[in-house]
């Protein structure tokens, strides 16, 4: 329920923009305008959600639990994620 303090933040976090395509990642922080952040959370992108970038064009194509979202690159810059371990095949 509390915000992860800087101590708890894992070292390997990056903005969603730089997240590897096809790799699942956990949302750690959403630091865009309050209004957009509120919207993102309602659409399933909240702190703790699992997302994966599936394509990079002028915007990012993101998979959120089977939903496809197009997110502006400027927005994706403000979303910090922690890439997850690759699932074992």
Partner 1 sequence: MTATAGPERLAVTEPLRVAIIGNPNTGKTTLFNAMTGLRQRVGNFAGVTVERVEGGYRMPDGRRVAVLDLPGSYSLSAGSPDEQVALEVLLGRDEAHWRPHVVLVVADASHLERNLFLASQVCELGLPVVIALNQIDAATEQGIQIDVPALIHEIGVPIVPTIASRGEGIEPLKQAILIAAALPVPERRFTLPSDTAAALAPLQEQIERDGFSPSAAAMEALRLLSVTRGEAHLARVDELPRHLESTRDALRALGIAPERVEAEARYEWISGVLARSMVRRERTLRTFSDRLDAVALHRTGGPLLFLVVMALVFQAVFSWATPLQDVIEAVIATIGGTIGGWLPAGDLRSLVVDGVFAGVGSVLVFLPQIAFLFAFIGVLEQSGYMARAAFLMDRVMRRVGLHGKSFIPMLSGYACAVPGIMATRTISDPKDRLATIMVVPLMSCSARLPVYTLLIGAFVPALPLMPGLDLQGATMLAMYLLGTVTALAVAALFRATLLRGPVRPMILELPPYRWPSVRSLGVSVWQRCQLFLRRAGTVILSLSIVLWALATYPHATVDPTLPEAQRQEAQLGYSALGRFGHAIEPVVRPLGYDWKIGVSIVASFAAREVFVSTMGTIYGVGDKEEAALVDRLRAERGADGALVYTPLIAVGLMVFYVYALMCISTIAVTVREAGGGRIGWRWAAIQFGYMLALAYGAAWLVIVVGRAMGYAA
| Interacting residues toward partner 1 by CB under 8 A | 1-3, 5, 32, 34-44, 46-49, 54-55, 57-59, 61, 64-72, 74-75
| Residue closer to partner 1, measured from CB, 14 or 50 | 50
Q: Least CB distance from residue 25 to partner 1, whole Å?
A: 17
Q: Least CB distance from residue 12 to partner 1, whole Å?
A: 22
| Residue closer to partner 1, measured from CB, 21 or 46 | 46
DSSP letter string over the chain?
-PPPPTTTS-S--EEGGGSPTT-EEEEEEE-S-HHHHHHHHHTT--TT-EEEEEEESSEEEEEETTEEEEEEHHHHHTEEEEEPPPPP-
Q: Least CB distance from residue 84 to partner 1, whole Å?
A: 14
| Residue closer to partner 1, measured from CB, 12 or 48 | 48
Q: Are 21 and 54 in contact (CB under 8 A)?
A: yes
């Amino acid at each position: 329920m509390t915000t992860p303090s800087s101590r708890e933040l894992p070292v390997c976090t990056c903005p969603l923009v730089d997240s590897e395509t096809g790799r699942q990642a956990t949302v750690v922080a959403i630091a865009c305008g309050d209004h957009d952040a509120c919207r993102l959370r309602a659409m399933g992108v909240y702190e703790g959600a699992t997302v994966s970038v599936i394509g990079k064009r002028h915007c990012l194509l993101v998979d959120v639990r089977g939903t496809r979202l197009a997110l502006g690159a400027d927005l994706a810059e403000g979303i910090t994620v922690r890439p997850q371990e690759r699932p074992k095949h």
